[in-house]
Structure 1
Amino acid sequence: MNKESNALLSVSHLDVNLKDRSLIHDLSFDILPATLTCITGENGVGKTTLIKTILKQFNKNEHVKAQIKRSEMQYIPQLRQIDDDYPLTVFDFIGLGLQKSWLPWLRKKEKQKVQRVIEMTNLSALANTPLGSCSGGEQQRVYLAQALVSQPKLFILDESTASLDKEAKFVLLDAVKKVIKQTDASAIFITHDPVLVKEYGDYDLNIANQTGHISAVKEA
């Protein structure tokens, strides 16, 4: 993919290393507005380490340049430990994404933001349900909603569908595509699932043999 002047994020000639081991060499790619870019490759090629490297070098050198601020980028990790008796409701948990407020409670406008992302991620029926009582797929949508409540321009899902059944995977990715369409935000999705890449991806950044190649999933 050629360099684009309107890219939200541009990675140029980036090396990705883990301790003394080189994982990816001389990687270049762009993340364009309102797109879903999948990062694929076998276990151990450095997909998650790539994201951590990007976050660490974000706008600090010539290798990772962005037209957005770091605060406009949200990372959703693969795993979170939520006990079955975790007491916070879905609404309140999503509201934690707005904790920059000086007040210990949400103001009216903040509650409206939470309500918008709840509707966007199809969580309205679960808003008052304790998060610990939600299924794995429902929890992943809640994590997505919490990341979205701060209105990021780029969000990253790290293997968010890895432990989900087939139906839950599609429900989550339907929500991701809905968010992209409604907000013009972009998403990066680390995945091993070729079906999801084909169905939902705009671009596929495949990592193999210490190099990366990005290509359009569907012809324009």
Structure 2
Amino acid sequence: MSEPILSVKHLSFGFRDQQLYRDLSFHLDVGSITSLVGPNGVGKTTLIRLLMAQLKPQAGTIQFRKQPPVRLGYVPQFRNVDEEFPLSIRSFIQLRQLDHLFFWHTPKEKAALNRVIEATHLTHIADTRLGMASGGEKQKAYLAQALLDDPNFLILDESTASLDVNTKHELMDLVQELNQTQKLTVLFVTHDLSLAKQYTKQYLLLTGDRYEMKPTAEMDLASMPEELRNDAENRGVIA
């Protein structure tokens, strides 16, 4: 049996007025797609910050596989970009390559840029101004920017939240394609239980006083927290 790409053991964390987790343990296998679900305020974003080493556990451990090393990619719901600024989708993605000291791009970097633009199906609009792009096209640009780091573990942080139904499926179809072709491990933070059931094999539910990790095939929508259940009812997932 191969080593998990991520192992969380007996994790505890909270803030002065709220304990978020006590003794949280789970692991993710290489190449898995997992949804992280739960009502607002139960610590989904905090868990992501812990995984990205922006916060330190108060107890327990977070351990990524050592060899080959884990390279994290992060796709947010929004980027703080001035939409009036005349920045093309290509140039926006390319900003990720300006983290180094030099302001020119090597042939290797240009090849990597073209590769992620093609992989995210943005070639035909790569020279379109980012401010003119649709919500789905912007999310693909955020995804392409994350892929420039050649990650093997991708975190999608509510990336579908502001998209219409068809665009959500288009984005998740792309993520599923990347998972299958590149063996990319994916952690998908979402409120959308229908997307979780369709695109992920397992889910981690946080409620504030307990956690649950099961195959999505065993997800009981009727027993989910009220906020998620109401959202599912509004989407027509629960009759």
TM-score, scaled to structure 2: 0.82
Q: How far apart are residue 165 of structure 1 and its match?
A: 0.7
Identify the residue that residue 196 of structure 1 maps to in structure 2. 195
Match of 2:30 in 1: 33
| Cα displacement (A) at 1:208 | 1.7
Gap change, CA 1:159 and 1:70, over 3 Å in 2: farther
In the TM superposition, residue 125 of structure 1 has moved relative to its aligned partner by: 1.1
**Is 1:120 the equivalent of 2:119?**
yes
Task: Note if contact 1:16-1:53 (Cα within 8 Å) is conserved in structure 2.
Answer: no
Change (3 A) 1:18 1:125: farther
Structure 1 contact 58–64 (Cα < 8 Å) conserved: no
Structure 1 residues 139, 107: closer, same or farther in 2, change over 3 A? same
Confirm or deny: 8 A CA contact 2:12 2:21 kept in the other structure: yes
- Contact kept, 8 Å, 1:9 with 1:31, in 2: the verdict is yes
CA distance in 2, matches of 1:172, 1:58: 32
1:54 to 42, 51, 54: 51
Contact 2:34 2:188 in 1 (8 A): yes
> Residue 154 of structure 1 corresponds to which residue in structure 2?
153
SS of the counterpart of 2:52? helix
Q: 1:155, CA displacement in angstroms? A: 1.5
Structure 1: how far apart are the matches of 2:100 and 2:109? 9
Between the aligned partners of 1:83 and 1:182, the Cα distance in structure 2 is: 34
Superposition deviation, residue 41 in structure 1: 0.9
Is the CA contact (8 Å cut-off) linking 1:37 and 1:188 kept in structure 2?
Answer: yes
Matches within 5 A, 1:101-116: 101-116=100-115
Residues 53-92 of structure 1 mapped to structure 2, 5 A cutoff: 53-56=50-53, 63-68=61-66, 72-92=71-91
Residues 58 and 65, structure 1, Cα contact 8 Å, conserved in 2: no
SS at match of 1:99: helix
Q: Is the 8 A contact 1:95 1:106 kept in 2?
A: no
User: Which secondary structure state, in structure 2, belongs to the residue aligned with residue 51 of structure 1?
Assistant: helix
Are 1:6 and 2:3 counterparts? Answer: yes
Shift in CA distance, 149/93, structure 1 to aligned 2, threshold 3 Å? same
Q: How far is 1:74 from its partner?
A: 2.1
Distance 1:18 1:172, change over 3 A: farther
Q: Which amino acid aligns with 1:148?
A: L
- Equivalent residue for 2:96? 97
Shift of 1:31: 1.5
In structure 1, the gaps of 5 or more residues are none
**Could you state the TM-score of these two structures normalised by the residue count of structure 1?**
0.89
Shift of 1:148: 0.7
| Aligned match of 1:168 | 167
| Contact in 2 for aligned 1:120/1:178 (Cα 8 Å) | no
Following the alignment from structure 1 to structure 2, what is the Cα–Cα distance between the partners of residues 156 and 72? 11
Q: Deviations over 1:49-95 (max 9, x none)?
A: 11112222689x85100115987112222222333323221112112
Alignment deviations for residues 120-169 of structure 1 (CA, whole Å, 9 cap, x no partner): 11111111111111111110110011001110111111111111111111
Task: Find the counterpart in structure 1 of residue 42 from structure 2.
Answer: 45
> Which amino acid in 1 is paired with 2:52?
L
The one-letter code matched in structure 1 to 2:155 is I
CA distance in 2, matches of 1:86, 1:70: 37
1:5-24 superposed matches below 5 A: 5-24=2-21
